[in-house]
Chain A
Amino acid sequence: MKYYKPATFEEAIALVAGAEGVTRILAGGTDVLVQMRSDIITPDTLIDIKAIPGTHEITRTEDGGWRLGIAVTGAEMSEHPELGRDWPGVVEAMDLIGSTQVQGRATPVGNLCNGSPAADSVPAMIAAGAVVTVTGPEGSREIAVDEIPVGPGKTSLAKGEIITALTLPPRGAQGGDAYLRFIPRTEMDIAVVGCAVNLRLNGDVITEARMVLGAVAPTAVVVHAAADALVGRTLDEDALSALSDLAEASCNPIDDKRGTIKFRTHTAGVLARRAAKIAYSRAKGAKA
């Protein structure tokens, strides 16, 4: 295995484009090193992007959104004084991954590129409308987060392309997001089901709604019908029931060591209700 620590994205992209065999980008390494240790993947080329300027920064964008460098860790997101006020669901989702130790290294972009259907931060980022900047030899483009994963362990990135930034949109007024996952223990497990909800209100009435489920299909599931079910009404019992039913109906899970089809489907409905309530109260001004 060859290890490179490029000083610029241009250098990194040239390395990625020119590398033979298996290439991996190293940010936090909390997935790549586990895969190496478990003999699942041994990259021929490992490109450590953490020396590239800006990769550790969290900055406000001009329009009031947030731009995150690709080496920004979960711990840095949680510690940021303002990010969590705007996007508590995204920050919480990231914070749920692994231990305190893993938080010191793990990055949302790594979580995304690992391509796990159970990645916690991904449903939250999709619900928030996050966008990544993908850069390759031909230049850069902005892509919605939900277009990156295409299947377990697979992304839509072409050879030579890497993600160079993550952008969260401006939170705006009367918005709130939340992410919940179900695990058997209190910590340290992979999500059996995850659910992110992002709402905007006008008074008590919902004007925008996005719900995204994790670990119930090969990739995160955007429940498009959630908007139809919620927009124009308050989050009353009927709305919660409808949302819960939609969540269950959107599941296409597998039976595996972490959960059954039946359990995942049922629990997706439970989490949908619970996450929606939190997002709703946040949109109404509750502190995260």
Chain B
Amino acid sequence: MSKTHVTTKVNGDEVEFLCDPRETLLDVLRDRLHLTGAKEGCGTGDCGACSVTVDGRLVCSCLILGVEAEGKEIGTVEGIAEGETLHPLQQKFIEYAALQCGICTPGILVATKALLEKNPDPSESEVRYWLAGNLCRCTGYDKIIRAVMDTAAEMREAS
């Protein structure tokens, strides 16, 4: 089998791997790099549980091939906290009980972090539409939306 050699950066660290061209970035992150924070909920871009950033752009890692990661910078949930300091979103998600089972949480954190970097003062409606591609089946989204809105307000105050 012919595998392709790929060099990329994940959460700031340079990594190399060999992969079959059919493998998705999600397959590579999970099965080759053992970064299992990104989850496969559907494999077809409908659930957002595999959300990562590629060169700062929010995407579904199940809809990118591993070989496309060559020369890119990938950001995953594992890179959100800085050392032992949680990102304000992570802290608020715990405080607000914005997760029940937690399977959608990594994707939602990656997605909302990308939102707040782009728009520090989103309306409730903007948060809801931004997250429309991140399915959560446990919470009814209520506490997630509240946690995001409150984090945004706090980050605005802090900056």
Contact = CB atoms under 8 A, between A and B. Distances in A.
Q: Do chains A and B touch in the complex (CB under 8 A)?
A: yes
- Could you tell me the dominant secondary structure of chain B's interface residues? mixed
Nearest to B59: A104
Interface residues of A, number: 28
B64 A105 contact: yes
Interface stretch (B82-90, B128-136, B137-145, B148-156): B128-136
Interface string B62-77: 1111011010000000
Contacts of B114: 100
B132 A30 contact: no
A2 B57 CA distance: 26
Contacts of A8: none
B64 A29 contact: yes
Contact of A101 (B60, B65, B68): B60
Interface in B38-65: 43-46, 48, 51, 54, 57-60, 62-65
A3 B24 CA distance: 13
Interface in A95-110: 98-102, 104-105
Given A3-B65, A30-B63, A100 B21 contact: no
A48 B68 contact: yes
A34 B63 contact: yes
A50 B43 CA distance: 22
A100 B111 contact: yes
Interface string B15-34: 00000011010000000000
A105 B44 contact: no
A242 interface: no
B41 to A, nearest CB: 12
B25 to A, nearest CB: 10
A101 B21 contact: no
A3 B21 contact: yes
Contacts of B115: 100
A95 B130 CA distance: 12
Given A34-B63, A104-B59, A3 B132 contact: no
Nearest to A186: B132
Given A187-B129, A188-B132, A101 B45 contact: yes
A104 B58 contact: yes
Contacts of B48: 99, 101
Interface in A1-58: 1-3, 5, 26, 28-30, 33-34, 36-38, 42, 46, 48, 50
Given A38-B44, A187-B129, A188-B132, A102 B63 contact: yes
B114 to A, nearest CB: 8
Contacts of A75: 57
B45 A99 contact: yes
Interface string B110-131: 0100110000000000000111
A1 B22 contact: yes
A46 B62 contact: no
A188 B63 CA distance: 15
Nearest to B107: A101
Most buried by B among A3, A34, A42, A101: A101
B136 to A, nearest CB: 13
B58 A100 contact: yes
Given A75-B57, A188-B46, A100 B132 contact: yes
Contact of B132 (A2, A29, A48, A99): A99
5 contacts: A29-B68, A30-B45, A33-B63, A104-B58, A104-B59
Interface of A: 1-3, 5, 26, 28-30, 33-34, 36-38, 42, 46, 48, 50, 75, 98-102, 104-105, 186-188
Given A3-B4, A29-B68, A46-B21, 16 more contacts: A29-B63, A30-B45, A33-B63, A33-B64, A33-B65, A34-B44, A37-B43, A46-B65, A98-B45, A99-B48, A99-B133, A100-B111, A100-B115, A101-B63, A104-B54, A187-B132
